[in-house]
Each structure stands twice: as structure tokens, then as C-alpha cells.
């Protein structure tokens, strides 16, 4: 890999292919795969990730909001795109770009049918979500008759899939809760299928569900974090390859005398002579303030360099006292060959999801094909 000359996020498409293939190997041949590319493909590059996954014959995509789906369409993505949290004000845009909404409440179902009717739609593909225990979005069992009666009165929409969301599939101590969710989904979906007279695609599993609950794979599974190289457990993460490496460089080196401070609010005061390096990356790039004051660290020439003082908007300072380095040298913030995003996130008591999705779009993306 080329040495960094600025702050970049390298994205390894070979690793992405490995993860997709590994997860797909856990499924039966007929089971479809939906790739979750919301939040800029978990902080990577949604457009490039989605276009590459299309070449691997992924079956479906999912985003959180309509504007994310619009960006994919404008980039040339042609596969079906499920919008997981559609907002009514965006329904006309959603239709214009052939995006498929998750209809999760009475109001959203009725409003979408009204807008789709005004847009002269027939059998527009929609998705119905059931709440089986996550208690975030979704219809309850008591709403099933309402859904069926509403659908029976119109040909404006047609249900493409029925789905739900596991709340704790990565935690095997919550197996009883998860199995209860799965049984609820079977019950709710079968009841609605009987009432509407046809069988939409059913899906419930996220990445951890794929790995831990094969009995819940149904017709399709959804994978987000697994595609990007994280299995939510030490065992499963060993079978996956993180696709991203965040790199930067040393902009300047300083000698800090005993008693001197470093950074805003004088958050760090030196108790002895030391050396610091200033790096062109900060909380505006996704390295949040929680990593400051020695919690977070980077790797320089194979050695750890802890963050000194508060993280600035555009820069961090790190302790290089015992590291042989110079201005212009490459710095690894996280990556599969050094400190993983999981390890760095754990240093600040957070999770890899939060770290990788925080990487700002002002950070240059470099695709490794």
C-alpha cells in the first residue's frame, strides 16, 4: 500500500468481497442478501461500496433515509433500495427515485398510500415492519388486521417484504429473548400473509443473527457491520477482514519542556521533557474528544503514540518521546494490520460502529481494488 501523504481512509474492496463471500457461505442457496449501506456505508463510501457489491450480485440494499437512496441512484446503483426510516415529507422524492419505504405505523402507511395515489402509482413496492421487542419502529400484533384491511382497499401499493429487527442477537446470554422475538415474527408474518393472500419476502437477521441464528434466516438476511469487517465477537471477527485503514501524517514535531502545556484548555501539562507530533486530523474528521487525554492512540512506525491533551477540531497531538520518527512520516489511526477500530473504540469506552461512522466525508477516500 502507498504511504499516506495526507489524511486518507483506504478502503480495501478485496476485504469487502471476502466478507460478503464469508457471510453468504452461512446461508442456504435460496436466501437473499441485503447489504446495509446507510450512514455512508458505515463511514466508508456508500456509492463505491454499493456499486462494487452490485458486481458481486447482492440482492438488495438498505439505507436509513431517502436522501441516502437518492445519492445511490444518482451514482448509478440500480438494485432495489429499502429506506428503513422514511419521513413523510420525502415520499414524493422517494417515489421519483424508485426507493422502497418501510411502512411502520398507521400514519405512515396511510400517508404513503395517499401520496403514491396522487403520484398515480400502482403496486408500488413497500415493506412492512413488525416490532417484536426492539421497541424502536414497527407495527404491533394488534395492528395486523388494520394493515390487511388497508391493503385490501387499494392497488396503489404491494408488500415486497415483511421484516423485524433483532435487539440482542450478538449476546448469547439473551438467547431466550431473541428466540421469543423470532417466534413473534413468525406468528405476526404468517397471520398477515394469510390475510393478504400472498407471501412477501421475510427477513429478520442482522450480521449477528446470520452468524448465531440460522433458524431465522427466512428468505433474506441483512448485513451491515459484517460487510465492513466486524463480527460483534472475537470468534467471528477472526473470519472477517476490516475493509478500512485510516491514515494521516506528522505535520510538525515539538519539544515540550517540563511544566509546559499542550492544546486547548491546557488539558495536558508535562511533568518531564517530552516530544509531541501534531497530526492533521481532529474531531471534525471523526476522532471525537472522548479519545483525548491519553485514552486514544495512533501507531507510528509500529509503536503506539497516545493522544496528548484535548482533541482539536482539525488536529491531534500525540506523544512520540520514545518513537523514532520525523515530520512527514505516515501515521495509522486504525486498520487491520495495526490497531483495529474495535480496539481504538474500546480505549474510549465506545464501539466500532460509532468510530467508523464518524469519519467525516472531508477525509479523502482511496479505493484499493
pTM above the 0.75 mark?
A: yes
pLDDT given for residue 233 in this prediction? 79
Please tell me whether residues 192 and 249 are part of one structural domain.
no
- The verdict on residue 274 lying in a domain is yes
Positive or negative, the CA dihedral 99, 161, 136, 45 is: negative
What's the rounded Cα separation, in Å, for the pair 298 and 339?
8
Please tell me whether residues 97 and 172 are part of one structural domain.
yes
Angle between helix 144-152 and helix 106-118 axes, rounded to 10 deg: 10
Question: Into how many domains does the chain fold?
Answer: 2
pLDDT per position as a tens digit, 303-349: 999 999 999 999 999 999 999 999 999 999 999 988 999 999 999 99
What residues make up the domain containing 49? 31-228
pLDDT given for residue 236 in this prediction? 82
Tell me whether residue 288 is exposed, middle or buried, using C-beta atoms within 10 angstroms of its C-beta: 0 to 12, 13 to 18, 19 or more.
Answer: middle
Please tell me whether residues 256 and 184 are part of one structural domain.
no
Please tell me whether residues 269 and 177 are part of one structural domain.
no
pLDDT given for residue 1 in this prediction? 67
Please tell me whether residues 218 and 274 are part of one structural domain.
no
- The verdict on residue 20 lying in a domain is no
DSSP state of 96: H
Q: Indicate if 291 belongs to the active site.
A: no
Whose CA is closest to 202, among 222, 174, 223, 227?
A: 222
Q: For 202, phi and psi rounded to 5 degrees? A: -115, 140
What's the rounded Cα separation, in Å, for the pair 130 and 127?
10
Please tell me whether residues 224 and 250 are part of one structural domain.
no
pLDDT given for residue 80 in this prediction? 98
Please tell me whether residues 346 and 271 are part of one structural domain.
yes
Catalytic residue (choose from 184, 264, 295, 304): 264
Measured from the Cβ of residue 14, the count of other Cβ atoms closer than 10 Å reads 11
Taking only Cα atoms into account, the Rg of the chain, rounded to an integer number of angstroms, comes to: 24
Question: 228, 260, 285 — which closes off a domain?
Answer: 228
pLDDT given for residue 27 in this prediction? 98
Question: 196, 228, 260 — which closes off a domain?
Answer: 228
Please tell me whether residues 209 and 345 are part of one structural domain.
no
Q: Indicate if 24 belongs to the active site.
A: no
- The verdict on residue 15 lying in a domain is no
Catalytic residue (choose from 38, 129, 241, 247): 38
CATH of the domain at 90: 3.20.20.10
Asked whether 111 and 150 are in contact (CB, 8 A), the reply is no
Please tell me whether residues 206 and 113 are part of one structural domain.
yes
Please tell me whether residues 223 and 290 are part of one structural domain.
no
What's the rounded Cα separation, in Å, for the pair 108 and 150?
12
- The verdict on residue 55 lying in a domain is yes
Question: 228, 259, 289 — which closes off a domain?
Answer: 228
- The verdict on residue 174 lying in a domain is yes
Measured from the Cβ of residue 326, the count of other Cβ atoms closer than 10 Å reads 10
- The verdict on residue 183 lying in a domain is yes
Tell me whether residue 271 is exposed, middle or buried, using C-beta atoms within 10 angstroms of its C-beta: 0 to 12, 13 to 18, 19 or more.
Answer: exposed
Please tell me whether residues 278 and 190 are part of one structural domain.
no
pLDDT given for residue 239 in this prediction? 94
- The verdict on residue 13 lying in a domain is no
What's the rounded Cα separation, in Å, for the pair 7 and 183?
48
Please tell me whether residues 120 and 182 are part of one structural domain.
yes
CATH of the domain at 319: 2.40.37.10
Q: Tens of pLDDT along the chain (369 residues)?
A: 678 999 999 999 999 999 999 999 999 999 999 999 999 999 999 999 999 999 999 999 999 999 999 999 999 999 999 999 999 999 999 999 999 999 999 999 999 999 999 999 999 999 999 999 999 999 999 999 999 999 999 999 999 999 999 999 999 999 999 999 999 999 999 999 999 999 999 999 999 999 999 999 999 999 999 999 998 778 888 899 999 999 999 999 999 999 999 999 999 999 999 999 999 999 999 999 999 999 999 999 999 999 999 999 999 999 999 999 999 999 999 999 889 999 999 999 999 999 999 999 999 999 998
- The verdict on residue 46 lying in a domain is yes
Amino acid at each position: 500500500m502507498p504511504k499516506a501523504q495526507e489524511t486518507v481512509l483506504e478502503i480495501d474492496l478485496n476485504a469487502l468481497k471476502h466478507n460478503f463471500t464469508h457471510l453468504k457461505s452461512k446461508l442456504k442457496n435460496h436466501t437473499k442478501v441485503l447489504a446495509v449501506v446507510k450512514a455512508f456505508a458505515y463511514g466508508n463510501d456508500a456509492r463505491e461500496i454499493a456499486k462494487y457489491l452490485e458486481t458481486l450480485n447482492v440482492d438488495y440494499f438498505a439505507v436509513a433515509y431517502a436522501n441516502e437512496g437518492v445519492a445511490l441512484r444518482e451514482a448509478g446503483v440500480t438494485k432495489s433500495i429499502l429506506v428503513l426510516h422514511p419521513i413523510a415529507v420525502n415520499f414524493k422524492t422517494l417515489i421519483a427515485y424508485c426507493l422502497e419505504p418501510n411502512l411502520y405505523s398507521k400514519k405512515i402507511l396511510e400517508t404513503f398510500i395517499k401520496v403514491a395515489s396522487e403520484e398515480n402509482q400502482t403496486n408500488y413496492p413497500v415493506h412492512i415492519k413488525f416490532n417484536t421487542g426492539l421497541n424502536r419502529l414497527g407495527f404491533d400484533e394488534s395492528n395486523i388486521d388494520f394493515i390487511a384491511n388497508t391493503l385490501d382497499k387499494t392497488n396503489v401499493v404491494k408488500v415486497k417484504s415483511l421484516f423485524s429487527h433483532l435487539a440482542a442477537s450478538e449476546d448469547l446470554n439473551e438467547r431466550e429473548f431473541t428466540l421469543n422475538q423470532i417466534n413473534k415474527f413468525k406468528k405476526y408474518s404468517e397471520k398477515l400473509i394469510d390475510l393478504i393472500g400472498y407471501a412477501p419476502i421475510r427477513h429478520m437477521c442482522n450480521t449477528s443473527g446470520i452468524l448465531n441464528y440460522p433458524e431465522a434466516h427466512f428468505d433474506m438476511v441483512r448485513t451491515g457491520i459484517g460487510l465492513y469487517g466486524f463480527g460483534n465477537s472475537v470468534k467471528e471477527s477472526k473470519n472477517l477482514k476490516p475493509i478500512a485503514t485510516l491514515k494521516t501524517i506528522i505535520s510538525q514535531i515539538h519539544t515540550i519542556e517540563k511544566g509546559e502545556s499542550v492544546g486547548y484548555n491546557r488539558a495536558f501539562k508535562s511533568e518531564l521533557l517530552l516530544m509531541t507530533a501534531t497530526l492533521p486530523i481532529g474531531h471534525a474528521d471523526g476522532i471525537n474528544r472522548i479519545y483525548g487525554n491519553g485514552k486514544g492512540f495512533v501507531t507510528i512506525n509500529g509503536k503506539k503514540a497516545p493522544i496528548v491533551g484535548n482533541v482539536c477540531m482539525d488536529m491531534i497531538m500525540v506523544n512520540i518521546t520514545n518513537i523514532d520518527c520525523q515530520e512527514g512520516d505516515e501515521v495509522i489511526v486504525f486498520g487491520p494490520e495495526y490497531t483495529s477500530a474495535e480496539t481504538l473504540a474500546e480505549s474510549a469506552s465506545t464501539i466500532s460502529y460509532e468510530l467508523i461512522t464518524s469519519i467525516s466525508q472531508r477525509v479523502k477516500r482511496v479505493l484499493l481494488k
